[in-house]
Amino acid sequence: MARAKFITYWHRWIFIFSIHQFLFASLAQSEGNTIRYQTSEEDAPGTVIGNLAKDMSLSLSHSSKTNFRMMKQFNDSFIRVRESDGELSVGERIDRERICRHTPQCLISFDVVNFSKERYKLIHVEVEVKDINDNSPEFPNKESVVEISENAAVGSRIPLDPAVDADVGSNYIQSYQISVNSHFTIDVLLRADGVKYAELVLMKELDRETQSLYTVELVATDGGHPFRSGSTKITIKVTDFNDNSPVFDQNSFSVSLPEDAPVGTVILDLNAVDADEGLNGEVVYGFGKQVSPEIRELFQVDNKSGRLTLRSPVDFEDKSTYELDVQATDLGPNPTPSVCKIIIHVTDVNDNAPEISITPMTSITTGIAYISETADKDSLVALISTSDRDSGVNSQVHCTLYGHDHFKLRQAYEDSYMMVTAAALDRERISEYNLTIMAEDFGSPPLRKITQYTIRLSDENDNAPHFTKAVYEVSVVENNAPGAYITTVEATDTDLGNNGKITYRLVDSVIMGSPVNTFVSLNSVSGSIYALRSFNYEIMKQLDIHIQASDGGSPQLQSTAVIRLKIVDQNDNQPSIIEPPLYKGSAEVVLPKDAPVGYLVTQIKATDADEGINAQLSYKITEGGHLGFSINKDTGKVHVSQQLTYDLTDNVKVTVSVSDNGSPALTSTAIIHFSFIEGTLPSLPSLTQNGSEELFEWDMSIAIIIVLAGSCSLLLLAIILITTICSRQKKERREGGYDEKEDIPNVEKGNSFTTISARDPHISGKDSGKGDSDFNDSDSDISGDVHKKDPIPCLWACTSECKVLGHSDRCWSPSATRPNTSLACGPHLSTFSKTSSLPRDTRRENYYPAHIPKTNGLQSVYEKVQHQEFDYILVGPPTPARIQETDEISIPEYTNS
């Protein structure tokens, strides 16, 4: 049974006291804590040796499966460490004789790291493997033969081959015994290298002639419980004697041999002298029979000169002491050899460079350690163990780290170092460190071992995505197509993998009442921005888009940037003429027919929704420039450029264009109709003086009031005349015998308007309801019953003046009932000319003067009017009209008949 135990004492209380004393000593708080255990060789795998957590009173972290970790070292397969609580157990069968062949004490050393509360503790563990008596003593040969001369003196000694026992201590050979006989006994001796052997001692004189052969059994016994033994059979031959034996200068020698001595080195010159003559005095040398084959491989002796030389290299680390016997024998009959004992001490030289073993805390690839870039200062990276097979100062090793000051070595105990961090790390600055570790011993000259080692930093999500600028300014021309590409934003993240994988999104915001994602779209992977609608510079000049870049780490890191999207103006708006007000692209302007040169007729004013050069306007007369008018290309003011010679009835048409300065330029045109009046307008513009352009200007509001007052006077006069004419016609008809009831129809209302005829009582105000044309009106039908009674001589079409006064689009023309009249519709009727501006009324969109062909009946009406007094047809609204704004009021022009 394996057990955790320390050095055994005689009494149990002494043993327990020693254990406590040891644990208190080993639990001292230091970086290199050492604890020792004992186990026996040949224990079964899994046998528990001890428990680090319990023996060292260490706290365990229940949230982690790893509290202890064994650092991989030279003999790590024999002992296992349970990571949860540090329980030590036998990993594989331990054969003490195999791993500790020449040492009395057998230790298995290794290091264990304890993790506790984010800190670590390095524990050095030494497990002493106790020997068990599992090997029996064995002799090299089961049978052997020795010779002894019959004249050998009592007390003569013959060395015997020692037995071999791989066990140590009390389990090693403790005694030799020889079977009972009358002539020989044994004497047990101890060699310098600790080997016990026996010498055969002659106790009684021999007589070859009486007995020439003796057989004894030699038994070797160890001190185990139970003990083990081995035996060999020895045959002793009694030979005839030779009077003198060779004699060595010394019976024993002790020499030192450096382990680096070259092959052939002379170790010792032996010399033996034999007093006999001839062959009995000629000496030869050789190893004794008990010399092992191992020694014969390493050393050799010249059989004639007795020179002992090195045959093969020796190694102090393998074995440091050799003991051998050299015999000197004469060539005479029945020689009696002499034995010289030689002890060779191999001295250590610094012939072994240190060995380095590096065990990283985290490793995926051999020779590479991994550590997080967020590791704290003094974090353990790897454990460095050193060893040197030499002894003394030659085995003492110093370790040095070269390569970068972010890491350093800290000595844990005599031959182990901890590689720890010396500063904060940043993978984005340095991702890999190539370090050099040099182990050097203190020998003379020193030997060193250099090892290259790589430390790689594992990435942590410690960098947020980075935009090069907080605000990016991007321009897009207005009127872009929906879906048009705008720009691509790009953020960088120096982290790796998902920690550096960037996705983009629009930050929620509201622009002009709508979410930002209705204006643009963003590709979350590429960062490309596309327009979702066509932009209009005149509505929106700038758009701020907030972009958020997020990495894929945990937790995520973000950063934002603003894309300032500037809408670039495009020349997409034509100039709009606002003064004078236009109706269907034209306007009418009145001016005195005798206006002098330089007279300011009007000013063309226009606006352009664009900006910059796209809104810089210039004015030009494109048609009618030769008619006596000019325009200032910058201000749009229209002047009289030459003396005017027009009549009041003339209507001069000039086409004016307004162009912007865009590329291409956009142009709007207007037709200006100039009408002429007598005299001067109330506010006369000033003439140009001294070459400077000072234009005549007059107050338009006063002119409008004057014109309206004149129109009202004319309207009142027309009513009086119509009333007078109607009275006269009634009187004439009564005198002529006409029947009023038959010939004069009732005046009816149609479409909210009243039509009054001053000349012809047979006028109908009834509308057929079939549209604007009077051809389909029942009262104006030139066929049917009415035609049978009286042919229709004339139809009167409603003119634009009716609309100015608020009449309906559907005006009726009175039907003449009196045939063959000589009246005609002539030009002497008072009419209203076209006004300079007509406000647009959607309710009266489709109206045109009725172009009625002049039939015979119609022609007679025209002739009748031509030769009679003025015949007025007044059409007026039955309800009050809307009061028009000043800028909507048309200025009627008039002529006197």
pLDDT, residue 627, reads 87
Mean pLDDT of the 10-16 span: 34
Mean pLDDT of the 328-335 span: 87
Instruction: Provide the total of helices (H) and of strands (E) in the chain, helices listed first.
Output: 9, 53
pLDDT, residue 61, reads 72
Mean pLDDT of the 136-165 span: 89
By DSSP bridging, strand 407-413 and strand 448-458 are unpaired
Fold of 576-677: Immunoglobulin-like (2.60.40)
What confidence tens digit (pLDDT) does each residue in 484-496 have? 999 999 999 999 8
What confidence tens digit (pLDDT) does each residue in 43-89 have? 888 899 999 888 888 777 776 777 888 887 656 678 888 888 889 99
What confidence tens digit (pLDDT) does each residue in 728-743 have? 777 666 555 444 333 3
Contact status, residue 800 vs residue 833, Cβ threshold 8 Å = no
Residue with the larger pLDDT of the pair 800 and 702: 702
Residue range 466-568 forms a domain whose CATH class is mainly beta
pLDDT, residue 76, reads 63
Instruction: Answer whether residue 113 shows pLDDT above 50.
Output: yes
φ, ψ of residue 742 in degrees (nearest 5): -85, -35
37/107 Cα distance (integer angstroms):
10
Mean pLDDT of the 180-209 span: 89
Instruction: Answer whether residue 343 shows pLDDT above 60.
Output: yes
What confidence tens digit (pLDDT) does each residue in 809-829 have? 434 333 333 333 333 333 333
Instruction: Answer whether residue 596 shows pLDDT above 80.
Output: yes
pLDDT, residue 840, reads 36
Instruction: Answer whether residue 775 shows pLDDT above 50.
Output: no
pLDDT, residue 741, reads 39
pLDDT, residue 819, reads 37
Neighbours of 301 (CB within 10 A): 23
pLDDT, residue 12, reads 37
Q: Which range is least confidently modeled, 303-312, 452-461, 699-708, 839-848?
A: 839-848
What confidence tens digit (pLDDT) does each residue in 512-565 have? 889 999 999 999 999 999 999 999 998 899 999 999 999 998 889 999 999 999
CA 491 to chain centre: 8
Query: Quick one: what percent of the chain has pLDDT higher than 70?
Result: 74
Q: Is the pTM of this model over 0.85?
A: no
pLDDT, residue 450, reads 93
Domains 247-347 and 576-677 share a fold: yes
Contact status, residue 678 vs residue 593, Cβ threshold 8 Å = yes
Instruction: Answer whether residue 658 shows pLDDT above 90.
Output: yes
Contact status, residue 95 vs residue 42, Cβ threshold 8 Å = yes
pLDDT, residue 191, reads 86
DSSP string, 519-551: TEEE-TTT-EEEESS---TTT-SEEEEEEEEE-
Q: Which range is least confidently modeled, 18-22, 664-668, 714-718?
A: 18-22
Q: What is the CATH number of domain 143-239?
A: 2.60.40.60
Which of 25-39, 571-585, 840-854, 865-879 has the highest mean predicted lDDT (pLDDT)?
A: 571-585
Q: Which range is least confidently modeled, 325-329, 462-466, 847-851?
A: 847-851
Residue with the larger pLDDT of the pair 772 and 132: 132
Name the CATH superfamily, with its identifier, for domain 247-347: Cadherins (2.60.40.60)
Mean pLDDT of the 340-347 span: 94
For 389, which DSSP code?
Answer: S
Mean pLDDT of the 346-357 span: 91
Q: Which range is least confidently modeled, 87-96, 329-338, 731-740?
A: 731-740
pLDDT, residue 639, reads 94
CA 16 → CA 33, 51, 228, 598, distances in Å? Answer: 21, 17, 32, 133
Residue with the larger pLDDT of the pair 121 and 798: 121
Instruction: Answer whether residue 9 shows pLDDT above 80.
Output: no
Instruction: Answer whether residue 438 shows pLDDT above 60.
Output: yes
Contact status, residue 604 vs residue 631, Cβ threshold 8 Å = yes
Instruction: Answer whether residue 587 shows pLDDT above 70.
Output: yes
**Considering only CA atoms, which of 711, 635, 622 is closest in space to residue 672?**
622
Fold of 355-458: Immunoglobulin-like (2.60.40)
**Considering only CA atoms, which of 224, 226, 231, 183 is closest in space to residue 204?**
183
Neighbours of 664 (CB within 10 A): 7
**Considering only CA atoms, which of 257, 250, 264 is closest in space to residue 328?**
250
Contact status, residue 668 vs residue 606, Cβ threshold 8 Å = yes
Residue with the larger pLDDT of the pair 93 and 739: 93
What confidence tens digit (pLDDT) does each residue in 736-774 have? 544 433 333 333 333 333 333 333 333 333 343 333 433
Cα first-last separation, the chain: 149
Residue with the larger pLDDT of the pair 872 and 194: 194
What confidence tens digit (pLDDT) does each residue in 857-867 have? 333 333 333 34
Query: Where do the domains of the chain lie?
Result: 34-130, 143-239, 247-347, 355-458, 466-568, 576-677
Q: Which range is least confidently modeled, 148-157, 645-654, 740-749?
A: 740-749
pLDDT, residue 119, reads 75
Instruction: Answer whether residue 10 shows pLDDT above 70.
Output: no
pLDDT, residue 650, reads 87
pLDDT, residue 563, reads 94
pLDDT, residue 409, reads 93
Mean pLDDT of the 859-880 span: 36
Residue with the larger pLDDT of the pair 408 and 693: 408
pLDDT, residue 861, reads 32
For 442-579, strand residue ranges (E) read 448-458, 471-477, 485-488, 503-506, 510-511, 514-515, 520-522, 528-531, 542-550, 558-568, 576-579
pLDDT, residue 524, reads 93
Residue with the larger pLDDT of the pair 334 and 388: 388
Task: Work out the mean pLDDT of the chain and round it to a whole number.
Answer: 77
Q: What angle do CA 164, 168, 169 make, to 5 degrees?
A: 125
Instruction: Answer whether residue 676 shows pLDDT above 50.
Output: yes
Instruction: Answer whether residue 232 shows pLDDT above 90.
Output: yes
Neighbours of 815 (CB within 10 A): 29
Q: Helix, strand, coil % (nearest 5) of the chain?
A: 15, 35, 50
748/755 Cα distance (integer angstroms):
8
Name the CATH superfamily, with its identifier, for domain 34-130: Cadherins (2.60.40.60)
